[in-house]
Amino acid sequence: MHAFWGKILHIDLTNQKTWIEQKDEEFYKKYIGGVMMATRLVYDNLPKGADALSPENPLCFATSAFAGTLVPVGNKHSVAAKSPLTGFIGDCLASSYFSAAIRRAGYDGIVITGRAEKPTYILIDDDKITFRDASHLWGMETFETEEAIRAELGDESFRSCTIGPAGERLVRLANITNDRGRQAGRTGLGAVMGSKNLKAVTIRGTKPVEVADIDALCEMTLALAKEAQGTKTVKYRTIGTPANVLAFQRLGVLPTRNYQDSVFEGAEKISGEYMAEHYTEKAVACFGCPIACEQVAHVKEGPYAGARTSVDYESLFALSSNCGVDYLPGAIEAIHRCDRYGMDTMSTGVTISWAMECFQRGVLTKEDFGGLEPYWGNHEAVAELVRMIAFREGIGDLLAEGTKRAAAKVGKGSDHWAINVKGLECSGHDLRGLKTFALGAAVGTRGPCHNRSLAYEPDTKGQVDRLKAEPSRGALAKEKEEFAAVFDMVMLCKFLRGCFQDIYEEIPKLFTLTTGIEMTPDDLRKAAERCINLKKAFNIREGWKKEDDWLPPRFLKDPIKDGASKGSVVKPEELRMMIDAYYEARGWTPEGLIPKEKLIELGLDDIAEELGV
């Protein structure tokens, strides 16, 4: 076996102990890497039912075959734990140097359990692991922390995952940041780190990465990298994902004012095209990426002069159109704050827009907001609320819990506009106008996620009638979920997906040339199915109920008011029908549970014993 070391590093923060768990080739054959490997580590290391913010919740990192290699966009790591936001699997991934650092330090995964007595950071210097005092770093922002650690260790090769003030305060929207501005963004994993008193994980790896057939691998990767300079990635390279603003506006699915509207009158002014013309300085790349999608926006004058961060569509919709904001510098500032404080821009934006709708409807008042008036479009209030959430100040303490918990606390019907599934806030897609994705979002194991389910693609690309619900969407959602799972397991960036002819043919080749482990197209298909079933099994073990696969009331009751999707709504009976079809396509019971035989067929025998029906 090449590339993989067969080693998982365990770190117990409570007792300051570390040990190595050996894994054989079978483990990598079955769990591949990335989110599947990380999920398996969580499954095995979390005592059933343990609270997400308890010391028992294992924070699990996993690399993949391609970490540290030249395989384009293959330098990604996964982080997973039980999510403080959903109580289900929180499986994230992030790009750049950190994954290569784990690999080069000699590990395939890291499992961190327990809770340090005082603020601590873990220093992994190849084989040497130390627990270092982080009192002087506590309170620092994410980018700042990373630089401070590098400065005190005196070598640029140290790569860190950090949390900011939000993670320290157990904000359930907090994320984990690495390599400046790369984030394991969703499901609140920053709070898991915070609950462990863990400010950062810092790694220096100096071991060379050996692969099975370097010449053949390089030949194949060069062809892919060249392909990645062509039309298939032109959107990412030039405007970046903010190009979606106008594309979604045309489809009438651009979430606006907390999903009350699906067309935004200010769309032009927050569009990717407008940003590219006025604010984008340069597109930069993650380590090992020949695409370079990261559009760094810089505000040079006006009230937000100095705001400077990379802007993608999901961050943008959440903190602009969805808050009614048509002033791009305001959105850039809000995104920059989220990045610095270490918070998920998506969940933060959607939680703020929930609060703004509460204000619109008089459910929360100016007094509740400590004097702020968060009317639609008030970008100053949005930026201030980002800060208040990060520091749990005033109403920020309520909003730091996310829409589901905040709505439960505030009541007065505010759950109607709490736009989340399983507690995770929705993405920048109005699901009423994208019905295949409405299904994908309802059943997603980590909540409604465009990264875990590419079911929006047939809708936005016009391959199906996006305003229609039909049973065939069940199999389609399954297929698109597994397509995404392939990328999330082997950990290639999905922005490369258009550069393959057939992922099930080409990716096994890349995998085998790298690791020497045989993999057929069927092996990969089966692995993708295993990945989804494993995550679902974890959720079932942690208390998943059938009603958790559902959509927020707004999408089921309020038809889209205007634009190309006008009148569309996901009727409850339509959603039920599609979910039933999805369960059937998966080979699950009508109750959404996994039969024993299915789990055994996927090689998850131990889980079949525990949970199979």
Residue partners of 274: CB distance under 8 A and separation at least 6: 268, 328
Q: Is 145 in the site for another protein (CB under 8 A)?
A: no
Q: How far is the CB of 210 from another protein (least distance, A)?
A: 5
Residues from 86 through 105 that contact another protein (CB under 8 A): 104
Cα 259 from Cα 600, distance rounded (Å)? 42
Does 115 help bind another protein (rule: CB under 8 A)?
Answer: no
**Does 285 interact with another protein (rule: CB under 8 A)?**
yes
Per the CB < 8 A criterion, the answer to whether 372 and 365 are in contact is no
Q: Which of 4, 28, 259, 287 binds another protein (CB under 8 A)?
A: 287
Distance CA 248, CA 531 (A): 30
Question: From the CB of residue 327, how many other CB atoms can be counted at a distance below 10 Å?
Answer: 20
Q: Draw the binding track, 181-200, toward another protein (x: CB under 8 A; -: no contact).
A: x-------------------
265-290 CB burial, b ≥16 within 10 A, e <16: ebbebbbbebbbeebbeebeebbbbb
Q: In this chain, which of 288, 329, 508, 612 binds another protein, going by CB under 8 A? A: 288
CA-based R_g, the chain, Å? 22
User: Please, which of residues 298-357 interact with another protein by CB under 8 A?
Assistant: 308-310
Query: In one letter, which amino acid is 91?
Result: D
The nearest distance, CB 283 to another protein, in angstroms, is: 7
Taking the least distance from each CB to another protein, the nearer of 89 and 148 is 148
Length of the chain: 613
- Interface stretch with another protein, choices 220-228, 271-279, 433-441, 576-584 (CB under 8 A): 220-228
**C-alpha separations of 457 from 294, 461, 563, 564 in Å:** 22, 6, 20, 17
Complex with another protein: residue 214 or 363, whichever CB lies closer:
214
Please, which residue, 294 or 529, has the CB nearer to another protein?
Answer: 294
Task: Report the nearest approach of another protein to the CB of residue 180 (Å).
Answer: 5
Q: Which is nearer to another protein, 80 or 286 (CB)?
A: 286
| Residue 209: CB minimum distance to another protein, A | 4
List the end-to-end C-alpha distance of the chain, in Å, as a whole number: 36
Please give the Cα distance from 327 to 332 (Å, whole number).
9
Nearer to another protein, 221 or 568 (CB): 221
Among 42, 52, 60, 70, binds another protein (CB under 8 A): 70
| Residue 206 binds to another protein (criterion: CB under 8 A) | yes
H or E element that contains 596? helix 596-601
Distance CA 141, CA 144 (A): 5
Q: How far is the CB of 581 from another protein (least distance, A)?
A: 42
By CB under 8 A, name the one of 154, 208, 362, 371 that touches another protein. Answer: 208
Hey, which residues does 366 pair with through a beta bridge?
none
CB count in 10 Å sphere of residue 22: 9
Chosen residue from 17, 128, 250, 282 binding another protein by CB under 8 A: 282
Candidates 1, 50, 129, 214: give the one binding another protein (CB under 8 A).
Answer: 214
Question: Taking CB under 8 A as the criterion, which residues in 225-244 touch another protein?
Answer: 225-226, 228-229
Measure CA 3 to chain center: 25
Q: Which is nearer to another protein, 310 or 378 (CB)?
A: 310
CB of 286 to another protein, least distance (A): 7
Residue of the chain from 270, 283, 355, 579 that contacts another protein (CB under 8 A): 283
Q: Is 20 helix (H, G, I), strand (E, B) or coil?
A: strand
Site string for another protein, 359-398 (x = CB under 8 A): ----------------------------------------
Stretch that binds another protein, among 169-177, 285-293, 361-369, 546-554 (CB under 8 A): 285-293
Task: Of 541, 570, 563, give the one whose Cα is nearest residue 436.
Answer: 570
Nearer to another protein, 211 or 581 (CB): 211
Can you give 86-118 as a three-state secondary structure string? CCCEEEEEEECHHHHHHHHHCCCEEEEECCCCC
Please choose, out of 33-41, 164-172, 277-285, 535-543, the segment that lies near another protein by the rule CB under 8 A.
277-285
DSSP E strands: which ranges in 220-301?
Answer: 280-284, 294-298
DSSP string, 194-207: HHTTEEEEEEE--P
- 8 Å CB contact between 302 and 279: no
Stretch of 69-77, 240-248, 265-273, 593-601 lying at the interface with another protein (CB under 8 A): 69-77
Residues in contact with another protein, counted by CB under 8 A, come to a total of 36
Which residue lies nearer to another protein by CB, 64 or 69? Answer: 69
| 124 contacts another protein (rule: CB under 8 A) | no
Cα–Cα distance measured from residue 186 to residue 183, given in angstroms and rounded to the nearest whole number: 8
Q: Does 286 bind another protein (CB under 8 A)?
A: yes
CB of 382 closer than 8 Å to CB of 393: no
- Burial 102-128, CB ≥16 within 10 A → b, else e: bbbbbbbbbbbbbbbeebbbbbbbeee
In contact, 479 and 589? CB cutoff 8 Å = no
Checking DSSP bridges between strand 59-62 and strand 128-133, what pairing results, if any? unpaired
Q: If binding is defined by CB under 8 A, does position 69 make contact with another protein?
A: yes
Nearest to another protein of 215, 301 (CB atom):
215
Considering only the stretches 83-91, 278-286, 369-377, 464-472, report the one whose residues sit in contact with another protein under the rule CB under 8 A.
Answer: 278-286
Cβ of residue 516: shortest distance to another protein, in angstroms? Answer: 14
Kindly state the smallest distance separating residue 323's Cβ from another protein, in Å: 25
Q: Helix or strand or coil: residue 73?
A: coil
Which residue's CB is nearer to another protein, number 286 or number 594? 286
Taking CB under 8 A as the rule, does residue 211 contact another protein?
yes
Does 209 help bind another protein (rule: CB under 8 A)? yes
Assigned token pair, 58? 């294992």
Helices (H), 81-201: 97-105, 142-153, 165-168, 189-195
Residues at the site binding another protein, with contacts judged by CB under 8 A: 68-70, 72, 104, 143, 180-181, 206-211, 214, 218, 222, 225-226, 228-229, 281-290, 292, 296, 308-310
